[in-house]
Structure formats: C-alpha cells, structure tokens
Amino acid sequence: MSQPITNAALIQFLQDNYASTGFVDGLKIKYRSLICPFISLLNQIKPGEKVGDVGCGSGQFLLLATQFAQPKSVFGIEISEKLIDNANALFNKRAHHDFGFSKYDGIHFPENLREMDVIFLIDVLHHVGSKNRELFIKNLVDVMKPGARLILKDIDKASPFVYFNKLHDMIFAGEIGSEISLADATALLQKNGLRITEQSKQRMYVYPHYSIVAEK
C-alpha cells in the first residue's frame, strides 16, 4: 500500500522544484497546499488516468499529480502565455513524463480535453464571472468524453469566510472574484448534464472550500 500524502511532503517537493521563483510567486506555489485541499484532490486521481487541469497556472497541481498520483499523462490549459511557458519549462526538466500545455481564450476548450479521464477545475470558476459562467461550463462539458469526471473545487459564497478569499484574490491576483455557493455550483453542473457523485466541504484556516465530483 502506498504511503498517505502529507502536506509536509507536498511542500518539500514544491520547494525543491520551484527554487528559482520570485518571493510572492514562491509563497503562492510552495505553500498553497496549506490553504487548499490538494491532498483530497490528488486522491481523486486513479492510476493510469489521463489528467486535465483547466486554469493550470504554472503547472503546480499537475506536477504534484505526476509525483504523488500515478497518471498516464497530464494536460493543462491556461489563458496566460507566460504561465504556459513556465509550465513547459518546469516539465521539460522531467522529460520522462507524458505532458502537454496549451493556451486558450477562457471560453473555448481544445480538443485534447476529449482524451482526459478526469478534468480538474481548481479555484477557476469564481474568476470566470457571472456573464460567462454558464457558457464556460457548457463548453467544458461539451468537450468531455462520456464517462469522464469533472472535479470542481472552489470557494463557498454561502460562507461568511468568503470575504477572506476576496481579500486574498485582491492581494495575489489583483481582482475580486465572483464566488458561487456549493448549491449553485451543483445546480449548474446538473443543468449541463453532469451526474454528481460526490460533494464535500472543508474549511482550511479562513478559506471555505467545497469540492464536487461530477460524471458525464
């Protein structure tokens, strides 16, 4: 039986692999697992699966997946060319892994996602905005293959602690997010034909997270 994943192991691994990042980015990358439930998300990956990450940033979560889960391959998309370059540079140092990264416009999704067995959407939905949210989810579901799973992790608007996340985003992302509640996120996924198989809530310090596992 494999050893349980620990935050200490995640942090050490990220520190070893992101040694050259700047101070602020270093804080976000190396210590995010203390305020985001990466362990429970990584445990959703089944051995041999193709794993996608929408809004992958600099590839942090997918890098953790290659180390602490057993994916067949990983594929990430991001709206920032700079972040895609960061992710490619990072993974090029680990050439034995099957990986790919692609830039997208935030609404239209590349066909590569049709190959994914599981797609992660981690703290992305509250940055999409209410006007584009339904189209974003519809287009994402449309590109998923039958039987694929979408794992949505976001911040719960229904919690009074949501304001701590707004402050966090204002400091680190330069914007204030548009969070939705667990109930509304569930309804949005169901409206677009996904079947909810798991739901959970977890507050880490002042961050009220929820996770939804939905299958097409």
**Is-contact 21 89, C-beta < 8 A?**
no
Phi, psi of 39 (to 5 degrees): -60, -50
β-sheet bridge partners, residue 53: 76, 120
Q: What is the pLDDT of residue 31?
A: 82
Q: What is the pLDDT of residue 132?
A: 94
Q: With 0-12 CB in 10 A as exposed, 13-18 as middle and 19+ as buried, what is 136?
A: buried
β-sheet bridge partners, residue 101: 76
Q: In the structure encoding, which two tokens stand for residue 209, read together? A: 């997270």
Q: What is the pLDDT of residue 21?
A: 58
**Is-contact 168 28, C-beta < 8 A?**
no
Q: How far apart are CA 40 and CA 202, in angstroms?
A: 10
Q: What is the pLDDT of residue 75?
A: 98
**Is-contact 40 64, C-beta < 8 A?**
no
53: left (phi over 0), alpha (psi -120 to 50) or beta: beta
- What domains are there in the chain, each with its CATH number? 45-215 (3.40.50.150)
Q: What is the pLDDT of residue 111?
A: 95
Helix (H) or strand (E) holding 85: helix 81-92
Task: Give me the residues of the chain with pLDDT under 70, please.
Answer: 1-2, 19-26, 95
Q: What is the pLDDT of residue 1?
A: 40
Q: How far apart are CA 168 and CA 156, in angstroms?
A: 14
Q: How far apart are CA 210 and CA 153, in angstroms?
A: 6
| Residue spans of beta strands (DSSP E) within the chain | 50-54, 73-78, 99-103, 118-122, 149-155, 195-204, 207-215
CA angle 1–76–161, rounded 5-degree value: 80
**Is-contact 53 119, C-beta < 8 A?**
yes
CB-based contacts of 141, cutoff 8 Å, min separation 6:
150, 189, 192, 193, 194, 216
Question: Tokens 């996340």 correspond to what residue?
Answer: 165
